[in-house]
Amino acid sequence: MSIDLPDAIDAYFSSDKTGNAQALSELFTQDATVVDEGNSYTGRDAIRQWMANASTQYTYTVEPFDIAEDGQRTIVTSHLVGNFPGSPVDLRYFFVLRGDKIAGLEIVP
């Protein structure tokens, strides 16, 4: 199923598919924070390193299938399949956008 995502979020999932950590980090504001698996990563350098580690540690595909709004956040639910513990799993991505950049992202089951 295809859903209509805001440009910054669509670019996030496109960059995630290619594993390009540098391109992905540039989609975030300078002071953005990502929370994933209980860990926080603040700033583009930390976000780039987070993505670089994830893309070398695991092989996976992610397919967004639902989008909703929750106040200031855009929630994208995606199906994630790969060689990681607990695969497959549906994850919720809570995006906070600032202009055309991602200012915050929290990923939870």
The tens digit of pLDDT for each residue in 28-61 reads 999 999 999 899 999 999 999 999 987 777 788 9
Question: What's this model's pTM, rounded to 2 decimal places?
Answer: 0.92
For the chain, what are the domain ranges?
A: 7-108
Strands 101-108 and 28-36: parallel
Q: Which of 48-52, 58-62, 88-92, 94-98 has the lowest mean pLDDT?
A: 58-62
Residue 102, beta-bridge partner list: 28, 97
If you classify domain 7-108 with CATH, what class do you get? Answer: alpha beta
